[in-house]
Structure 1
């Protein structure tokens, strides 16, 4: 199986590559459109800030390539947010693959920003979550979120519900870090590779 990990000079790439290795999968870190098009699966990890990430994607021409991919595609954390239309983070236009607009959490006395740490998933739908339940916890680090909508396939709360995972056709996204989420994250990555 050919697995491509999108290289847009963003953070968190090595952790994802190591997580794939632990599953016995070999992945190529690449910004080459032909390698991305030919891959059986594409992962789009993200850590950082939306405007800088989109600028890097545009500079590499990946803003035109990624929306044309037809194989299973998984965006992780910022990689999920960039699938949306717009982010409040630096007023950033994004890839527009899903109809959500990313918003910033409003802090309150009990809920700090960023939302950081372990949280459980609710309303799980679809093959990414085979073998998992609301008892499983995953690891989040984010200040921005996608609201719940028809694209939502898992929710979490901080304090209100937000999209912990999304899907539209072959494009999947998870707000949490699969590679830092222990057994649950490993299972989700394995489920993605099995799509």
Structure 2
């Protein structure tokens, strides 16, 4: 059963880890750990890559802790599923233009760029926004096609449409989620999105 999955919330010093842990505990997942330990990561069956803050610092932390290599082996070679949240999703990209040009994990090709709206909406984009789902399987299968999630970001992930599973309108079309094989990312915060976010977590883990 999915509730018995060994889940690792990756700790690299910039994540909203305890809020995610609380949400998963509420859903009944009992084998969840917050860790950067190589042995604990390797013994896990699925991962969440959280993130709050600046891209360059987050990418440096991943590399300084050797987590890019460790996670690369588990996710790219062994094909274990991973869900990046907010900055954690942006780190899946090839490069970010935040504070200069900085390399990401390059797991989903694309570029993280500053939000520049056409109608002078405030940046950062903070608050609830409707999300249009283009591909419901697997992470949106418990949510409707138009669903609310909570966002808090100034940069967005530009990539090919084949990798985009949902989007929202914020003066421009903002990528709300991406997926490629076993790699998933959401720009919004499911742990702050009440029932919609809990449904997303449940859908992700039950698909494993």
Q: Which bin holds the TM-score, normalised by the shorter protein?
A: over 0.9
Residue 141 in structure 1 maps to residue 152 in structure 2 = yes
Where does structure 2 lack aligned partners over 5 or more consecutive residues?
none
Structure 1: how far apart are the matches of 2:180 and 2:147? Answer: 24
Structure 2: how far apart are the matches of 1:97 and 1:33? Answer: 20
**Worse-matched range after superposition: 73-82 or 131-140:** 131-140
Per the normalisation by structure 1, the TM-score is: 0.95
SS at match of 1:71: coil
Structure 2: how far apart are the matches of 1:165 and 1:19? Answer: 19
**Correspondence list, 1:101-112, <5 A:** 101-107=111-117, 109-112=119-122
Deviations 1:62-107 (Å, cap 9, x if unpaired)? 1112222221110000000000000011221110100011110115
**Correspondence list, 1:1-195, <5 A:** 1-26=5-30, 27-69=32-74, 70-90=79-99, 91-107=101-117, 109-125=119-135, 126-149=137-160, 150-195=162-207
- Runs of 4 or more, structure 1, over 3 Å off, are 107-110
Per the normalisation by structure 2, the TM-score is: 0.89
Structure 2: how far apart are the matches of 1:164 and 1:148? Answer: 12
Do the aligned partners of residues 108 and 138 (structure 1) sit closer, same or farther apart at CA in structure 2, a change above 3 Å counting? same
Where does structure 1 lack aligned partners over 5 or more consecutive residues?
none
Structure 1: how far apart are the matches of 2:134 and 2:143? Answer: 8
Structure 2: how far apart are the matches of 1:75 and 1:31? Answer: 15
Residues 148 and 161 in structure 1, CA contact (< 8 A), matched pair in contact too: no
Number of equivalenced pairs: 195
Structure 2: how far apart are the matches of 1:163 and 1:39? Answer: 28
Structure 1: how far apart are the matches of 2:201 and 2:34? Answer: 17
Deviations 1:9-41 (Å, cap 9, x if unpaired)? 113111111111111113111111222122111
Structure 2: how far apart are the matches of 1:17 and 1:157? Answer: 29
